[in-house]
Amino acid sequence: MNDLYSFEIRDGLTKNDRYFKGFVEKQKLTGKLEYYTFQLKCYQNLRINLETEKESSVFLCVNLALSSSLRLSCDGKLLTVPSFSSILISFKSAETIGFDCVADKAYDFMLLKIGKSDLDQEQTELLNVLQDQGMLLDEFLNPKLLVPNLGICEMARTLKKLDKSGCENKFIAKGYSNILFGLKLKELLVQEGTCVKSAFLRKFEIQQLEVLTTKIKANPQQQYTIKELCKQTGLSVSKLQAGFKEMHNCTVAIFIRNIRLEKALDMLRNTDLNVSEIVYSVGLTSRSYFCRIFKKRFKCSPKSYQQQLRTPSSMAS
């Protein structure tokens, strides 16, 4: 491996056409909370090193790549993080973290950092217990714990895509970051009870769920049936529904409905279309049904919401 010790990741987007195609992004949310996103393809074998003060922080690494495993080194310990899997790096091990990237291989991963001083006593004690039991990255880690977790990956992608330019979105980004740490701790506690998530899905099946999720988000107006989705993905009905339950905490039908509602909300904000036109634009056929589920979700009728947007002075009175 060619070591790139001098590579510095600054706040915002970093490109380095000399070593790789793609980008590395660093976002500092508070003095003790930050994260890095990596989406790149290296021109040659490369190691990207990060240094931190020992025992000052805990890290969460999430591999979002569809097919590339991630080779991670930490204080002399080497580990391969499979696609859709994540790992917590213990306080004692978090001093030098390196990523070994192979030439011409696409990588997509995220590294979150939270300072030890930001954790309360109960959280710190839990992490110490998990570390003692070999659930975090140290010399005792059991590689069998590196299982796919679609919920963590979906949350990480949401954080990655969030526009961080606005002050309000930085608050949201802090919330997503804390949720990710919470989801990982929850996963480890479940694994400690010998119930491993995602074990029922093969790697190819997980990839199909990722592709299907992206397709539905991009085209919510299409008419989807469970039969057609099973045929497209090669998944059985039970695996399709179980996969969506884990990734999105809901059934396929409710996920599609929620995406359509979010699209409708965006159209109410940013277009001059009336409610009926928006109903058909998002793939629904009944205005009354749309109004009912919209009001249930957002506690306001779509017509009332649209009128408030068009008459902001009435909201202030």
Q: Are residues 45 and 169 in the same domain?
A: yes
Residue 128 lies in a domain: yes
Q: Are residues 209 and 88 in the same domain?
A: no
The answer, yes or no, to whether residue 10 has pLDDT greater than 60, is no
Q: Are residues 66 and 37 in the same domain?
A: yes
Q: Are residues 63 and 9 in the same domain?
A: yes
What residues make up the domain containing 276? 203-316
Residue 198 lies in a domain: no
Give the domain-ending residue among 192, 218, 240.
192
pLDDT for the residue numbered 54: 67
User: Could you tell me which of 16, 11, 66 has the C-alpha nearest to residue 40?
Assistant: 16
Give the domain-ending residue among 192, 214, 229.
192
Q: Are residues 59 and 161 in the same domain?
A: yes
The answer, yes or no, to whether residue 258 has pLDDT greater than 50, is yes
Q: Are residues 148 and 258 in the same domain?
A: no
Q: Are residues 300 and 152 in the same domain?
A: no
- 3-state DSSP percent of the chain in helix, strand and coil, to 5: 45, 20, 30
Question: Which value, to the nearest 10 degrees, does the dihedral of the CA atoms of residues 197, 200, 201, 203 take?
Answer: 80
User: Could you tell me which of 181, 152, 177 has the C-alpha nearest to residue 84?
Assistant: 152
Q: Are residues 14 and 153 in the same domain?
A: yes
Q: Are residues 300 and 209 in the same domain?
A: yes
63/110 Cα distance (integer angstroms): 7
pLDDT for the residue numbered 261: 94
Span 54-58, average pLDDT: 77
- What percentage of residues in the chain have a pLDDT greater than 70? 85
The answer, yes or no, to whether residue 160 has pLDDT greater than 70, is yes
pLDDT for the residue numbered 176: 93
The answer, yes or no, to whether residue 13 has pLDDT greater than 80, is no
The domain that contains 282 carries what CATH number?
Answer: 1.10.10.60
The answer, yes or no, to whether residue 289 has pLDDT greater than 90, is yes
pLDDT for the residue numbered 14: 66
Q: Are residues 165 and 254 in the same domain?
A: no
Residue 292 lies in a domain: yes
The domain that contains 175 carries what CATH number?
Answer: 2.60.120.10
Lowest mean pLDDT among 92-101, 168-177, 288-297: 92-101
pLDDT for the residue numbered 6: 38
With tokens 């975090």, the residue in question is 136
Domain count, the chain: 2
Average pLDDT value over all residues in the chain: 83
Residues 172-230 have pLDDT tens digits of: 999 999 999 999 988 888 766 544 444 467 778 888 998 999 999 999 999 999 999 99
Give the domain-ending residue among 192, 225, 259.
192
Q: Are residues 118 and 188 in the same domain?
A: yes
Q: Are residues 179 and 44 in the same domain?
A: yes
Phi-psi region of 3 (alpha: psi -120 to 50; beta: other; left: phi over 0): beta
